[in-house]
């Protein structure tokens, strides 16, 4: 494949945008080569500026669960845009999507819309602190909750891809209030509670981790967190920015039957427009301004185009009884196919998948936390990434990310992908 035009555009962008990109993982630094500039996308495919067609396994890092340029979403945005794009005043569509989201997700009475997953998690922690009157939070190494200061401490995703899981610019004062535990390790969470009695405002967790590749919770982990939070009057925050409306209508709370106190959303809830949200019981949400004293605001929050896109996508998901099963079947088909292809060439690997999230680690040990995720053979991942790209398949340009499956993928696309893995594996 040729990437001449992408190369030119990247050079031009680097002169005026740091690293040529508006979010670091797009820069291909971890895998080398030129980031691909997109012209358009439709269904399961990306079309780049050089005229290449790629099967997309990233789907804008999650939102495009029913495929790119999904007609009901595009139509809803166009119709809204004709009436004006932002007012900084309430609109009826905000209440409509709030009602729909609350009807789909358990344990939430009220929801506040923001502009990104980062904002959602940042605001959820502030709310938990304001509600509990405590300051410390527990987060898990390798989990990524966006780029706000409290979370850039042993963070996953781009932060670890670029080797700065603890970012310069985060003050020691902020960092000291974020206490770290290994993912899937309940004992270490218990120890933190013992060492900080009455001080933990919240635990924030990706209930299925997606920012160190995909890592499911081991049996009893989420239940144990719930029990510890109950014992210590601590707020349990599920960061469902990736998993919300993706793994199930009600997210991980419904999938595994565990209640969180605050839930954060992003990605799917915005249908591909910039939306995040956080939600909780009325009891907790009443602490939020203007009802309560915990402040949070945004000029473009609840933007009508974004709300219309999210509402159209959630409506489609809510009215399709089989969609999550179809997605899981496609993901499982891919999981088995890739595993078989890698095995046939004796490539050590470990594949995790849950619902429509999947990732491939090039190490034999089961990947259950950040430490085991970091054991993967990065050189091999790079070769794999470029081999797949040459075959017309776009996977995440980092071993510390999940792939997101879309319902627009056909079984022919999946077979084509598995065949490409077979060919690439023979050259690894």
Strand partners, 352: 359
Contact 401, 213 (CB under 8 A): yes
Would you call 371 a catalytic residue per the annotation?
no
Would you call 330 a catalytic residue per the annotation?
no
Please identify, using beta-carbon distances, which residue of 33 and 72 lies nearer to ligand HOZ: 33
Q: Report the C-alpha gap between 306 and 94 in whole angstroms.
A: 9
Select which of 239, 248, 261, 369 is catalytic.
Answer: 239
For residue 12, state whether it binds ligand HOZ (rule: CB under 6 A). Answer: no
Q: How far, rounded to the nearest angstrom, does the alpha carbon of residue 248 sit from its chain's CA centroid? A: 14
Neighbours of 375 (CB within 10 A): 13
Q: Report the C-alpha gap between 316 and 333 in whole angstroms.
A: 24
For residue 25, state whether it binds ligand HOZ (rule: CB under 6 A). Answer: yes
Kindly state the smallest distance separating residue 246's Cβ from ligand HOZ, in Å: 12
Would you call 321 a catalytic residue per the annotation?
no
Residues 155-184 that bind ligand HOZ (CB under 6 A): 157-158
φ/ψ of 162, rounded to 5, equals -95, 10
Q: Among residues 211, 243, 353, 368, which is the contact residue for ligand HOZ, using CB under 6 A?
A: 211
Name the DSSP class of 164: -
Residues 56-95 that bind ligand HOZ (CB under 6 A): 61
For residue 52, state whether it binds ligand HOZ (rule: CB under 6 A). Answer: no
Strand partners, 280: 110, 262
For residue 35, state whether it binds ligand HOZ (rule: CB under 6 A). Answer: no
Residues 6+ apart with CB under 8 A from 247: 208, 255, 324, 354, 355, 356, 357
Residues 383-422 that bind ligand HOZ (CB under 6 A): 401
Kindly state the smallest distance separating residue 58's Cβ from ligand HOZ, in Å: 9
φ/ψ of 356, rounded to 5, equals -105, 25
Q: Among residues 45, 131, 144, 381, which is the contact residue for ligand HOZ, using CB under 6 A?
A: 144
Q: Among residues 4, 12, 14, 23, which is the contact residue for ligand HOZ, using CB under 6 A?
A: 23
Residues that bind ligand HOZ (CB under 6 A): 23, 25, 61, 144, 157-158, 211, 401
Which residues belong to the active site?
144, 239, 267
């Amino acid at each position: 494949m040729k990437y001449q035009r992408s190369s030119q555009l990247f050079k031009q962008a680097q002169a005026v945008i740091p690293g040529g990109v508006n979010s670091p993982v797009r820069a291909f630094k971890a895998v080398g080569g030129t980031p691909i500039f997109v012209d358009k996308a439709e269904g399961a495919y990306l079309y780049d500026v050089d005229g290449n067609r790629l099967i997309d396994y990233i789907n804008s890092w999650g939102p495009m669960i029913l495929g790119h340029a999904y007609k009901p979403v595009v139509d809803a945005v166009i119709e809204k845009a004709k009436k004006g794009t932002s007012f900084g005043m309430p609109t009826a569509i905000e209440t409509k999507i709030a009602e729909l989201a609350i009807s789909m997700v358990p344990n939430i009475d009220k929801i506040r819309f923001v502009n990104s997953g980062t904002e959602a998690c940042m605001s959820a922690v502030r709310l938990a602190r304001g509600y509990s009157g405590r300051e410390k939070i527990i987060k898990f190494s390798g989990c990524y909750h966006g780029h706000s200061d409290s979370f850039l401490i042993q963070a996953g995703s781009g932060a670890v891809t670029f080797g700065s899981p603890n970012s310069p610019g985060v003050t020691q004062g902020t960092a000291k209030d974020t206490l770290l535990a290994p993912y899937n390790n309940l004992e270490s969470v218990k120890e933190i509670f013992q060492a900080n009695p009455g001080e933990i405002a919240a635990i924030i967790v990706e209930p299925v981790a997606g920012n160190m590749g995909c890592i499911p919770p081991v049996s009893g982990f989420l239940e144990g967190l719930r029990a510890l939070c109950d014992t210590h009057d601590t707020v349990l925050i599920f960061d469902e920015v990736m998993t919300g409306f993706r793994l199930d209508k009600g997210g991980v709370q419904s999938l595994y039957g565990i209640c969180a106190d605050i839930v954060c959303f992003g990605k799917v809830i915005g249908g591909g427009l910039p939306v995040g949200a956080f939600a909780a019981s009325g009891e907790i949400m009443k602490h939020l301004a203007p009802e309560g004293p915990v402040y949070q605001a945004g000029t473009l929050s609840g933007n009508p185009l974004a709300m219309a896109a999210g509402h159209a996508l959630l409506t489609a998901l809510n009215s399709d009884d089989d969609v999550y099963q179809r997605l899981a079947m496609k993901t499982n088909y891919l999981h088995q196919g890739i595993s078989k292809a890698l095995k046939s060439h004796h490539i050590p690997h470990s594949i995790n998948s849950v619902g429509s999230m999947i990732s491939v680690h090039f190490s034999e040990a089961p990947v259950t936390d950040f430490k085991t995720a970091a054991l993967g053979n990065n050189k091999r991942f790079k070769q794999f990434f470029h081999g797949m790209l040459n075959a017309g398949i776009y996977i995440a340009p980092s071993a510390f990310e999940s792939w997101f499956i879309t319902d627009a993928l056909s079984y022919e696309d999946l077979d084509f992908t598995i065949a490409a893995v077979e060919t690439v594996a023979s050259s690894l």
